[in-house]
Structure 1
Amino acid sequence: MSTTLTWLEEFAAHSSMDVSVVGLDELPGWERDPATGNIRHHSGKFFTVEGLEVSRPEAPVSGWTQPIINQPEVGILGILSKRFDGVPHYLMQAKIEPGNRRGLQLSPTVQATRSNYTRVHQGRPVPYLDYFRDTSRHRVLTDVRQSEQGAWFYRKRNRNMVVEVAEEVELLDGFRWLTLAELHELLAVEDLVNMDARTVLSCLPYGLQDGEDDDFHRALARSFDPRLPGVHTMGDVLTWITDRRSVTDVVAERIPLNSVRGWELADGRVSHETGCFFDVIGVNVEARGREVQGWAQPMIKPIGEGVVAFLVAPIDGVLHVLMHARTEPGYADVVELAPTVQCTPENYWHLPPTARPAYLDQVLGADPAAIRYDTILSEEGGRFHHALNRYVVIEVDAGFTGPHPEYRWLTVHQLGELMRHSYYMNVQARSLMACLHSLTTTRLTTASRALLGSR
């Protein structure tokens, strides 16, 4: 790990990005539509910031309006794989995005929207793109379209791919081959492995784990085994998801940005009247070491730090994860499986008590001895500015939950099966799955975590 961190520090010396927050009306190349107020690029590409009207008659909050990003393109998030001395390695990129809090992060080999890789910005070609656009000569390990944040994106999806090659691959500046064990170790470093890398890594097929030496890790290893039953069969799980999608009454319709209620454009940004949720801001970017040397764009800036948590429990010796069938207005199919808890606690102070997320108190009040993973990670830095969440895995006693129509205990193997298909697992759950997988190969003490967090 130390060599990778040193490499990142060395690369940072000749790769930089200056990001300044500016008013939304000061973004060159962007304009506000005079009729709708929507914020759009003059090319008609990339994305627009629009309004969304949401109706959920049976929910504690039955309706609202909000700004949302509409980016209908399907991008590519791809990691190239190659075996060295029989050991799979993965080609990772050191990349800065304008929303990154701490500069360089480890990202996939290719991380590009369609507008980017078709070079609407007239920048340099995206390195290694052809391996993912033409896979005929290579082995595809995973290839699935997945959603992104349904609270901030309207039906956004990206193609998550891992492609294994046998031929020689030119190693370009800013790229490095890493083993899965090295990537797992780096997932413990605060704000280092970016969201796009985490979602692709979570989609990798995983084999049975062995060699574990304590009750928790033995239960986790068994959770990968398809021969060991879970609390619910896979058929029961699919029926439950279909049922939640069928009975959940939600309507989400795009509306003009100037029609959203409770939001105002002031001081060059769009903000909610309560000061909660998020702002829409503008940024100017000057970059060194990117395909384009400078640009401007709108971004979503969340208010507050979020909590994204798995509650896990050994049931009959097999670790289970408590999953939430969650509805977000930007989902393509009403409901996706989410972490047990996924929220920004500060956003709930002005809402009805019934709107407070289930199990939030168990997460915030967890015994430190029961916390198996705990790291601050960021969301996608290309659209979100300093979007930070505390990602945490907490071991509990399964008996405390009681029946709840929106929650079910699933094994890791069952979650892996669902991720082979589109729109079953949301992006936060996929990120946490990558973190949970990392616990099969790493043993990080409190001291080593503190050392890593000081990067």
Structure 2
Amino acid sequence: MTSQAVDSDLSARVTRSALAADGTVTNLWGFHQWFADYTADDWSRVSEIPFSGLTGWRFEETTGNLVHDSGRFFSVQGLRVRSEQGPIRAWSQPIIVQPEVGVLGILVKEFNGVLHCLMQAKMEPGNHNGIQLSPTVQATRSNYTGVHGGKPVPYLEYFRSPLSHHVLADVLHSEQGSWFHRKRNRNMIVEVAEDVEPLPGFHWLSIGQLYELLRTDDLVNMDARTVLSCLPFAGRGLADTHACGGDAFRTALMRSLSEDEATLHTTRHVRSWITDARVRFEVDATLIGLDDVRGWQRSADRISHETGLFFDVMAVDVRTGNREVGGWTQPMIHARDLGVVAFLVQRIGGVLHALVNVKAEPGFVDVVELAPTVQCTPQNYKALPPEAYPPFLDEVLDAPADSVRFDTTLSEEGGRFFRTRSRYMIVEVPPDRDLAVPHDFRWVTMRQLASLLRHSHYVNVQARSLTACLHSLIRQPERC
């Protein structure tokens, strides 16, 4: 079988699992019962503490940086940013520095011809609701090499030696470039044929079931969403082989995933546009001591901006019975307000396109990555000049209800961000509307996003989450 035929067969299997009426291991009712029972047994406690309550962490005398005694895990340092673009040309801020590459991996296996994902019900200290669905493996290098002295990470062996199995996806992707300095994780999907017994806290779910669960607030965590976005979805003739009962939107979405459908811009054009932005956007982001950050104030339990906006650095004490270690303390970032992350989508020639933005964030490795149409915290613009107000934000927030295709509040990464959440939205623009698009925005299809997702540093984490959400809409409003 040729590699093209293998890819086509894989896309067909992924699509079949996404469209399956239900999983073959359990139905969603059974999953919710299992999840409710598991969370009811969780006695984890997360308490906000002053910085003096941190164990194993200290502020360095020379820099003010917040560091771990082991020199591992992560640190909170300062970042000085200068840019030639945008209304804000210079600022400084705290930022998380975590040079380690973590592993985010989902194990998949066919049951009765339907692909299923082994998901973990995982407690993270930043989750406002305690436990959320995470990938099979979600671990930093410090965690899986045992720096914390805790238990081994379950199922890690499938991702440490992936070439002995069927690797469906394996790519380095960035984390939040506004809060992490050059942070990357290895996003992996590995298929196995042998029996894999789910340990306590793990559950097999079909892709379609996960897509249904994405509609529940704060259930599928950020790490699971970014890995799900890497599923090799795009194939040929999907709209023909998977009829959607006359639903024009879902048919347009299927055509958007198909490799043989027209696009407004060629993929070569899109990649050149991104490269051009990386040349045009001049961003100088330099690590500095936390004591040298201007406009931020440190109290006994917070490092906050003088306006009371943006985010805080704070600390927590964690006690739990379902992690590799039973308790620890750590710093975290706490966003002050709810974010808005949204795609505008439009049917162009009967093919659904999403409006993406080349966005510079100071923590990115390569200056800019593709971001959603809107990615912001609206409350923050009280302290910024009017020209900083995001394009299309009002278009999203004022959209009529019948044009909102997806609207769910989802948590950001719970290992470093404390109860930080965003409203994830997909809003459809009528096909006959001519929307004025600035130069730093482009319409792309889902197939083009899938192509870019195979490479590092092209699609940011918010856009990857939204890509998974957009894929989930092939099941709405009623199953094919």
TM-score (norm 1): 0.96
Contact 1:419 1:425 in 2 (8 A): yes
Per the alignment, residue 300 of structure 1 pairs with 333
Deviation larger for 290-299 or 134-143: 134-143
RMSD, aligned α-carbons: 1.1
Question: What CA distance in whole angstroms lies between the structure 1 residues aligned with 2:275 and 2:163?
Answer: 35
Alignment partner of 1:376 out of 409, 415, 427:
409
Kindly state the Cα deviation for residue 85 of structure 1 after the two structures are TM-superposed: 1.1
Alignment deviations for residues 228-287 of structure 1 (CA, whole Å, 9 cap, x no partner): 111100110011000001001111000000000000101321000000000000000001
Alignment deviations for residues 114-170 of structure 1 (CA, whole Å, 9 cap, x no partner): 000001000000000000001232100000000000000000000000000011112
Per the alignment, residue 52 of structure 2 pairs with 25
Q: Which runs of 5+ in 1 are unaligned?
A: 446-455
Question: What CA distance in whole angstroms lies between the structure 2 residues aligned with 1:426 and 1:136?
Answer: 26
Deviating 4+ runs (over 3 angstroms):
397-400
Kindly state the Cα deviation for residue 217 of structure 1 after the two structures are TM-superposed: 1.1
Question: What CA distance in whole angstroms lies between the structure 1 residues aligned with 2:305 and 2:383?
Answer: 13
Does residue 1:328 correspond to 2:355, yes or no? no
Per the alignment, residue 405 of structure 1 pairs with 439
Aligned residues: 445
Question: What CA distance in whole angstroms lies between the structure 1 residues aligned with 2:383 and 2:321?
Answer: 43
Alignment partner of 2:318 out of 285, 304, 309:
285
Kindly state the Cα deviation for residue 401 of structure 1 after the two structures are TM-superposed: 2.6
Question: What CA distance in whole angstroms lies between the structure 1 residues aligned with 2:370 and 2:466?
Answer: 12
Does residue 1:226 correspond to 2:253, yes or no? no
Contact 1:25 1:32 in 2 (8 A): no
Does residue 1:138 correspond to 2:171, yes or no? no
Deviation larger for 75-84 or 4-13: 4-13
Kindly state the Cα deviation for residue 211 of structure 1 after the two structures are TM-superposed: 1.8
Question: What CA distance in whole angstroms lies between the structure 2 residues aligned with 1:307 and 1:249?
Answer: 26
Question: What CA distance in whole angstroms lies between the structure 2 residues aligned with 1:359 and 1:400?
Answer: 14
Per the alignment, do residues 39 and 444 of structure 1 end up closer, same or farther by CA in structure 2, a change over 3 Å counting? farther
Per the alignment, residue 69 of structure 1 pairs with 96
Alignment partner of 2:467 out of 430, 433, 445:
433
The one-letter code sitting in structure 1 at the alignment partner of 2:462 is: Q
Per the alignment, residue 186 of structure 1 pairs with 213
1:229-268 alignment runs, 5 A limit = 229-268=262-301
Question: What CA distance in whole angstroms lies between the structure 2 residues aligned with 1:179 and 1:14?
Answer: 25
Alignment partner of 1:9 out of 36, 40, 43:
36
Identical amino acids, percent of aligned pairs? 56
Per the alignment, residue 351 of structure 1 pairs with 384
Per the alignment, residue 204 of structure 1 pairs with 231
Contact 2:258 2:447 in 1 (8 A): yes
Contact 1:16 1:96 in 2 (8 A): no
Per the alignment, residue 451 of structure 1 pairs with none
Contact 1:18 1:286 in 2 (8 A): yes
Question: What CA distance in whole angstroms lies between the structure 2 residues aligned with 1:350 and 1:136?
Answer: 50
Per the alignment, do residues 444 and 351 of structure 1 end up closer, same or farther by CA in structure 2, a change over 3 Å counting? farther
Question: What CA distance in whole angstroms lies between the structure 1 residues aligned with 2:78 and 2:260?
Answer: 47
TM-score (norm 2): 0.91
Does residue 1:95 correspond to 2:129, yes or no? no
Question: What CA distance in whole angstroms lies between the structure 1 residues aligned with 2:349 and 2:200?
Answer: 49
Per the alignment, residue 453 of structure 1 pairs with none
Question: What CA distance in whole angstroms lies between the structure 1 residues aligned with 2:229 and 2:87?
Answer: 32
Question: What CA distance in whole angstroms lies between the structure 2 residues aligned with 1:261 and 1:191?
Answer: 34
The one-letter code sitting in structure 2 at the alignment partner of 1:98 is: P
Does residue 1:215 correspond to 2:242, yes or no? no
Contact 1:14 1:289 in 2 (8 A): no
Contact 1:143 1:162 in 2 (8 A): yes
Alignment partner of 2:424 out of 391, 403, 414:
391
The one-letter code sitting in structure 2 at the alignment partner of 1:422 is: S
Per the alignment, residue 184 of structure 2 pairs with 157
Contact 2:117 2:206 in 1 (8 A): yes
